C-alpha cells in the first residue's frame, strides 16, 4: 500500500498508520548519503555468519601456510604473524569506523522518531484536554452532575505544561 494522506478517510486506521510508518522508513533509507549506504552495507555483511566463516578460513589458511603445514608453499609471514596482525588490525579499524557511521545515522533517526513521538503525544494530550473540557461543558449544560470536587478531574481538564513536567522529571530522576 502506498501512503497517501488524501485517502486516509477510506482506509482502516491501522492500515493507514502502517503505510505512514513504512513511508517514513522508506524516506529515511532513501535519505542516506553514499557513505552511510556503504557503511550500512559493510556493517551488514561484516555482521554475518558468512563473514565469520570467511575470516576463520582465511586466518586458518594463513597460519597453516606460515607454520609450514602446507607442503610446497613457502611461509611468507613466520610466527608471530606480523603481517597478519597488521592486516587484521587495519581491518578492525575500518570496520569500527563503518559501524560508528551506521550507529550515528541510526541515532539521528531514533532522535527524529523520538521528536515525532513527542509531538504526536503533545497533540494527543491537547486534543484530549479539549475533549474533556467540551464534555464537562456539555454535562453542565445538560444538568448532569459532574464530580467537580475531585482535583484529578479538574487537573485533567487543564492544559499540560510540558516545561513544568520536564523540570519535575529532571528533579526526580536519579543521576546515572
pLDDT class of 2 with cuts at 50, 70, 90: low
pLDDT, tens digit, 9 for 90 and up, residues 145-169: 776 656 666 677 778 888 888 888 8
Q: Could you tell me what percent of the chain has a pLDDT over 70?
A: 89
pLDDT class of 35 with cuts at 50, 70, 90: very high
Which of 10-19, 103-112, 133-142, 157-166 has the weakest average pLDDT?
157-166
Higher-pLDDT residue of 158 and 68 is 68
pLDDT, tens digit, 9 for 90 and up, residues 92-126: 999 999 999 999 999 999 999 999 999 999 899 89
CA-CA distance, 160 to 167, in Å (whole number)?
Answer: 13
Amino acid at each position: 500500500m502506498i501512503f497517501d494522506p488524501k485517502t486516509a478517510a477510506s482506509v482502516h486506521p491501522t492500515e493507514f498508520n502502517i503505510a505512514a510508518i513504512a513511508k517514513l522508513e522508506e524516506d529515511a533509507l532513501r535519505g542516506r548519503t553514499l557513505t552511510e549506504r556503504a557503511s550500512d552495507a559493510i556493517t551488514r555483511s561484516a555482521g554475518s555468519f558468512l563473514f565469520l566463516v570467511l575470516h576463520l578460513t582465511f586466518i586458518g589458511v594463513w597460519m597453516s601456510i606460515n607454520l609450514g603445514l602446507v607442503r610446497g608453499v613457502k611461509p611468507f609471514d613466520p610466527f608471530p604473524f606480523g603481517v597478519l596482525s597488521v592486516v587484521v588490525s587495519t581491518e578492525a579499524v575500518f570496520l569500527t569506523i563503518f559501524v560508528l557511521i551506521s550507529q550515528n545515522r541510526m541515532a539521528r533517526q531514533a532522535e527524529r522518531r523520538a521528536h515525532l513521538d513527542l509531538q504526536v503525544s503533545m497533540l494527543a494530550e491537547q486534543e484530549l484536554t479539549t475533549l474533556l473540557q467540551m464534555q464537562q461543558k456539555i454535562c453542565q449544560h445538560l444538568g448532569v452532575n459532574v464530580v467537580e470536587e475531585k482535583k484529578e478531574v479538574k487537573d485533567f481538564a487543564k492544559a499540560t505544561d510540558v516545561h513544568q513536567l520536564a523540570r519535575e522529571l529532571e528533579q526526580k530522576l536519579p543521576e546515572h
